[in-house]
Amino acid sequence: MNSTYFDYAATTPVDSRVLEAMMPYFTEKFGNANSLYSLGRDAYRAVEGARESVARSIGAERPDEVIFTAGGTESDNTALIGILTKLAPEGGAHLIVSAFEHHAILEPAEFLEKQGYELTKLKPRKDGHIHPDDLRAAMKPNTKLVSIMHANNEIGTINDIAALAAVAHEGGALFHTDAAQTLGKIPFNVTELGVDAASFSSHKIYGPKGFGALYLKKRTPLVPYLKGGGQEFKKRSGTQNTPGAIGFAAALELMIAEQDVEIVRLSALRDRVIAGVTSVLENTQSSVTEGARLPHIVSMLINGVEGEAMLLQLDNKGISVSTGSACSSGSLEPSHVLLSIGCPPEIAHGSLRISLGRFTTEADVDYFLEVFPPIIERLRAMSPVYTRMFGSK
C-alpha cells in the first residue's frame, strides 16, 4: 500500500543531509560548549557557526540577535511573556494578538491577561488575512506589543507583516511574528519586514524536533524565561544543543537554496489537488481564495462529511492529512481558525488540510485524487442530512 504523507505543516522528516551534518556532534564532538578545553571550544565554535548561518539566512544585522531555544512554542512564550513583562512589569499594558494564532501564542497571551495585562484578539477578515487598518483601529495609547503570525498554518494565508509592523511602531508598540510556517518556505528577512522579534521552528523545515530560535532585534527588552548558567547572552540559559543548532542551521540553508524551485513546484501541486477535488466532487470549496497564500497548504471544506471520519478513511489508504473538525480535536471545538474567518461550525466540521513538502510527488497527488472522491461519496451516502443540507449528490 502506498504511504502518502500530506501533513508537512504538522511536522517533517529530518533531511538526510541535515542528519549527516548533526551526527558527529552526538558522539565525537560532544563537548559542552561552555567548557574551556578543546572539546568544549569545538562545540562552542559549532554553535556560534550555526548562529551566524541562521543570522545570515534571516537577514539579521548581528548573530547575537539569534537566540536558540527548544522550539517554536518556547520562542513564542519567551517573546510574549519576556518582552511584555519587561516593558510593563506592573501590568496594565495592552497586548494585541490575532484571533487565529497558534495555541503557542494564544495560551501565553491569555496567561498575561490573567496576570493583569489587557488583551485584544484581532479577528481576520473573511479573506483570512489580518488587515493593517483593523490593527490600527485596535491600537491604544497603552499598546506595547503586537504579535501577528506571518502565515496561518491551517488556511495558508500570508499576512503583510511589513505593513502590520509599521502600524505597530507608529502606535509605539513592538512587533513580534510567529514565522514557524514561513521561514525557509517563502522569503523572510527581518530587516525588510521590520520586526522586533520572530519565532522559528526546526521540525517544520526538515530539521530536528525540540529545537527552534527566537530573533530578538538588538536592544529589544526581555525578561529571560530560563534562568541559569547565562547562555545565549544571558537570555536563555541551558547547555547548548550543539547537534540541534547544527541541524537547524543546515536545514535552513537547504530550504533557502531550494526555495524558489520549491515555491513553483509546490504551488503547482497544491493547485492540482484543489482543482482535482473541486472538479470531481460537488459542494467542496477552498476555505480561502483571495490574497497571498503559502505554496504548500491546501485548506478545503468538504460539505456534508465529518473531518475525523474523512481522516481515518484516508489513513486506511495510507494517506496522512489533518482536519479542523471538533471530533478530531482534544477540546471538541471545531478549528478556531475557521471559526475566526466566519465559517459556520457545521461547515468547519468538514475541513481538510493537506500540506505538501519536499518529498511530495506528482504520483502522490494522482493517488490522492484517485482514492478521495469514492471516500467522500460513501460518507455522504451514509449521512442522514447530506441531500437535505446541500442538494443532490
Catalogue the active-site residues: 327
In this structure, what is the dihedral angle of CA atoms 311, 316, 318, 321, given to the nearest 10 degrees?
A: 0
The site map against other proteins for 273-292 (x = CB under 8 A) is ------------xxxxxx--
- Decide: is 98 part of the binding site for other proteins (CB under 8 A): no
Q: Which three cell numbers stand for residue 146?
A: 503586537
Contact assessment for residue 101 and residue 107, using Cβ atoms and an 8 Å cutoff: no
Please select the residue that binds other proteins; options are 263, 326, 369, 371, rule is CB under 8 A: 326
Identify which range of 81-89, 186-194, 360-368, 385-393 contacts other proteins by CB under 8 A.
Answer: 385-393
Please tell me the distance from the alpha carbon of residue 385 to that of residue 325, in angstroms, as a whole number: 17
First to last CA, the chain: 29
- Decide: is 332 part of the binding site for other proteins (CB under 8 A): yes
Please tell me the distance from the alpha carbon of residue 173 to that of residue 327, in angstroms, as a whole number: 39
Contact assessment for residue 6 and residue 319, using Cβ atoms and an 8 Å cutoff: yes
- Decide: is 352 part of the binding site for other proteins (CB under 8 A): no
- Selection from 214, 215, 216, 211 nearest residue 246 by Cα: 211
- Decide: is 81 part of the binding site for other proteins (CB under 8 A): no
Please select the residue that binds other proteins; options are 347, 356, 365, 376, rule is CB under 8 A: 347
Burial category of 192 from C-beta neighbours within 10 Å (exposed 0-12, middle 13-18, buried 19 and up): exposed
- Decide: is 225 part of the binding site for other proteins (CB under 8 A): no
Considering the complex, state which of residue 133 and residue 282 has its C-beta at the smaller distance from other proteins: 282
Please tell me the distance from the alpha carbon of residue 358 to that of residue 355, in angstroms, as a whole number: 11
Please select the residue that binds other proteins; options are 31, 128, 244, 247, rule is CB under 8 A: 128
Contact assessment for residue 123 and residue 133, using Cβ atoms and an 8 Å cutoff: no
Count the site residues for other proteins by CB under 8 A: 45
Please select the residue that binds other proteins; options are 170, 271, 346, 366, rule is CB under 8 A: 346
Please tell me the distance from the alpha carbon of residue 32 to that of residue 276, in angstroms, as a whole number: 52
The site map against other proteins for 355-384 (x = CB under 8 A) is ---------------------------xxx
Identify which range of 75-83, 160-168, 212-220, 298-306 contacts other proteins by CB under 8 A.
Answer: 298-306
- Decide: is 385 part of the binding site for other proteins (CB under 8 A): yes
- Decide: is 330 part of the binding site for other proteins (CB under 8 A): yes
Binding site for other proteins (CB under 8 A): 126, 128, 285-290, 301, 303-309, 312, 316, 325-328, 330-334, 338, 341-347, 349, 382-386, 388-391
